[in-house]
Amino acid sequence: MNAVGKKDAARAAELRELIRHHNYRYYVLDDPEIPDVEYDRMFRELEALEEAHPDLRTEDSPTQRVGGAPVEGFKEVRHLRPMLSLDNAFTADELVAFDRRVRDRLKAEEAIEYAAETKLDGMAISLLYEGGQLVRGATRGDGQTGEEVTHNVRTVESIPLKLRGRGHPARLEIRGEIYMPKAGFAQLNSRLAERGAKTFVNPRNAAAGTLRQLDPKVAASRPLEFFAYGVGFFEDGVLPTRHSEILAMLRDWGVRVSPLTQVVTGAEGCQAYYDEMLGQRDDLPYEIDGVVFKVDNVELQQDLGFVSRAPRWAVAFKFPAQEVTTVLNGIDFQVGRTGALTPVARLEPVFVGGVTVSNATLHNMDEIERKDVRVGDTVIVRRAGDVIPEVVKVVQERRHGNPEPVRLPKKCPACGSDVVRPEGQVVARCSGGLVCPAQRKEKLRHFASRRAMDIEGLGAKIVEQLVEQGIDGREIHDPADIYALTADQLAQLERMGEKSANNLVAAIERSKNTTLPRFLYALGIPEVGEVTAAVLARHFGDLDALMAAEVNQLEAVPDVGPVVAQHVYEFFHQDENLKVIAALREHGVSWPTEVPTGGAKPLSNMTFVLTGTLESMTRDEAKKRIEAAGGKVTGSVSKNTNYVVAGADPGSKLKKAEELGVAVLDESGLLSQL
Ligand code: IVH
């Protein structure tokens, strides 16, 4: 090799090491040292060098993740040690019984230390490293033999092609889970749906389907990630004698291990870990279906041994299922505040995601058609966190006979007006406007709701009576009518005593002092949620300026697109709406004028991490509001985080913030930042 060649070879080797180091910072430590652009620059430099001198290309070069042509089929792989499964516990008693069995067998006097891990809902994978190089990836299969999927495993960027450092055994088989994060799954599905391709039911199926692709380019284009949870086999080397230390060692070697792993003591420690993870479940960027406890001391693991296909030293404590099957008894169409008809599935009641569910959304007619849902079908229902339960899929094999396809009603089920569904639009609407009692009820309920005008005591039941019966023979037509109600009139309603009537009138009176964002949100302009209402209020400062805005001025507001701009413009150009607004102002509804910003955002360039339960909003709402104010919300705390917002029962993120000296805000602190 000449001098230039030597220089290039040295630079290529240096770049590979640098990229490997920054991958480790990014994927394993979740604490990048350099911005993405800098990383990309190194990557491109290496690619260019290898392009110019193909002999510099090594198997383990970070540029070589996507290998050559698609494989023709999957080779069978016999596992070096069987890949076992886990016994499950579903209740606290079963967990206690597991711990007792362990102690009895070991004749242990003192409490046992367990490595506590999350149970990732993906695909088990075996990674074989020889001399520190990744040589094979295989699925679990039946536990004895799996399928070789090295070509796809290599595309997963959080799996190192070469281990860091030294001292690894000559052969080392690492086991863990490949999964697809929730956000990546949603993006993949919408991409597939756009193309008219079949979508995946859940992230787990998407991960499994991706690993079984013959062409590594497909896997490379999908967001798979990896966490290691153990070592299956090793040769020529020594490993620590505690499971938790083995995981720490893997992390040092550049292998990604869940940061939620802990060591806990006794059944009590296990229960506390379970409770903590159950609380965090819906906020994690990936799905977990439980937690796993493993006797931490490897010698004790060996003493305990195995029964049939599962170790005696480990147990999976499962969370309540978020997906179950049940029977669809019927479909009703509900009319919302803008007249949109939403098909609602009436289900045989089932326990899912920790509660009993008998209704689930079917979203719209397109969804019903796409999923081919028919009455009488057995369906998979999903309920995750505070998200509305939904029908994800029909179990076609369990369909009896040939039930009729579902049809969109021609008339509104609430008022009998025509249902219209303009060409190319997904949503069908009742054309009845304020004539439709369902729309009126929903509009009023929304107007009075806590996050809008906040009229305490004016809930769904009262609104229903007001709309259905009217007051003194007069219809309650729109929000302005609420401000004309007297205590005597209200006292005529069912189950409304004199005292509650007086309280309600007082609450109505109080609501007159409001803010512009609340008022705008309360008006129920289509597509204008709280965040958009706040953005509009800040931008224009006052209602009159907003009402006078042309479509192009509205579109100039950050985060307001053409659809929203059109809706806002149309809303303020309908006589009916102008009359209601004027009447509300006449009744004394008012707000302080905002200082118009013309677009500057208060939280620009600030990074937030949320933990614990907030009172006035869900974490999802908080995220949207922070983003609308120009901020960014990330999943983990690093020194680049500006604020950690801690609600009730905060998780480990609060601890991390304290360790790193990151500022912590409580809920009111966040609200004032917003
Ligand atoms: S340990 C002998 N740890 O759960 C121990 N498994 O039901 C074998 N899984 O096939 C597995 N997260 O795919 C273990 N932290 C974790 C896990 C985990 C998810 C999966 C794994 C396994 C299945 C067993």
Question: Which amino acid does the sequence have at 554?
Answer: L
Whether 625 shows a pLDDT value over 80: the answer reads yes
Question: Does the structure show a pLDDT above 70 at 3?
Answer: no
The residue to mutate among 123, 229, 270, 306, having the most atoms of ligand 1 within 8 angstroms of its beta carbon, is 229
Query: Topology of domain 3-64, per CATH?
Result: Helix Hairpins (1.10.287)
pLDDT for 598 equals: 63
Q: Tell me the residue ranges of DSSP E strands in 364-500.
A: 378-382, 390-394, 419-420, 429-430
How many whole angstroms separate alpha carbon 448 and alpha carbon 454? Answer: 5
Least confident of 111-125, 227-241, 595-609, 614-628: 595-609
Residue located nearest, by CA, to atom 16 of ligand 1: 119
**Average pLDDT value for residue range 642-661:** 86
DSSP string, 603-633: TTT-EEEEESB-SSS-HHHHHHHHHHTT-EE
β 133-139/123-130 pair status: antiparallel
> Ligand 1 centre from 83 Cα, in Å?
9
**Is pLDDT of 597 > 70?**
no
109 C-alpha to ligand 1 centroid (Å): 28
**140: Cα separation from own chain's centroid:** 27
Integer distance in angstroms from the first to the last C-alpha of the chain? 62
Angle at which helix 266-280 crosses helix 92-106, to 10 degrees, equals 140
Residue 110's Cβ-side half-sphere holds a number of Cα atoms within 13 Å equal to 3
pLDDT band at 130 (very low <50, low <70, confident <90, very high): very high
Average pLDDT score over residue span 99-109: 96
CATH architecture, domain defined by 607-673: 3-Layer(aba) Sandwich (3.40)
Among 6, 7, 119, 393, the active-site one is: 119
Average confidence (pLDDT) over 571-600: 87
Are 509 and 519 spatial neighbours (Cβ–Cβ below 8 Å)? Answer: no
> Is domain 323-398 given the CATH code 3.40.470.10 in the classification?
no
CA separation for the pair 228, 231 (Å, rounded): 8
Phi-psi region of 317 (alpha: psi -120 to 50; beta: other; left: phi over 0): beta
Record: fold of 412-599: DNA polymerase; domain 1 (1.10.150)
Q: Tell me what pLDDT residue 599 has.
A: 60
Atom number of ligand 1 nearest to Cα 316 = 7
Query: Is the pLDDT assigned to residue 388 strictly greater than 70?
Result: yes
Q: How far is the CA of 654 from the centre of ligand 1 (A)?
A: 28
- Please list, in sequence order, all residues whose beta carbon lies within 8 angstroms of the beta carbon of residue 367, skipping any fewer than 6 positions away: 373
Residue 447: strand, helix, or coil = helix
Between CA 548 and CA 555, with CA 553 as vertex, the angle to 5 degrees is: 125
Task: Give yes or no: 119 in active site.
Answer: yes
Let me know if domain 87-318 sits in CATH 2.60.40.420.
Answer: no
User: Which ligand 1 atom is the nearest neighbour of the CA of 117?
Assistant: 15
pTM of the model: 0.71
User: How is 73-140 classified by DSSP, letter by letter?
Assistant: SPPEEE-SS------EE-SHHHHHHHHHHHHHHHT-SSPPEEEEEEEESSEEEEEEEETTEEEEEEE-
pLDDT score recorded for residue 616:
79
**Ligand 1 surroundings by CB, under 6 angstroms:** 84-86, 117, 119-120, 124, 140, 177, 229-230, 292, 311, 314, 316
Q: How far is CA 483 from CA 480, 518, 565, in A?
A: 6, 17, 29
Residues 440-489 pLDDT 10s: 999 999 999 999 999 999 999 999 999 999 988 888 989 999 999 999 99
Among 123, 174, 177, residue to substitute to test ligand 1 (most atoms within 8 Å of Cβ): 177
Distance CA 304, CA 300 (A): 6
From CA 402, how far away is CA 329, in angstroms rounded? 15
Ligand 1 center to 305 CA (angstroms): 17
Q: What would the pLDDT profile of 406-436 be if each residue is shown by its tens digit?
A: 999 999 999 999 999 988 888 999 998 888 9
CA distances from 73 to 47, 213, 467 (A): 29, 9, 65
Segment holding 263, helix H or strand E: strand 262-265
- How far is the C-alpha of 130 from the C-alpha of 674, rounded, in Å? 53
Contacts of residue 67, defined as CB under 8 A and 6 or more positions apart, other chains included, come to 151, 154, 216
Q: Which of 233, 232, 284, 226 is nearest to 255 (CA)?
A: 226
Tally: H helices and E strands in the chain: 25, 24
CA of 85 to the centre of ligand 1 (A): 6
pLDDT at 81 over 80: yes
CA 76 to chain centre: 35
Least confident of 47-61, 230-244, 382-396: 382-396
Residue 422's pLDDT is 82
Domains of the chain by residue range: 3-64, 87-318, 323-398, 412-599, 607-673
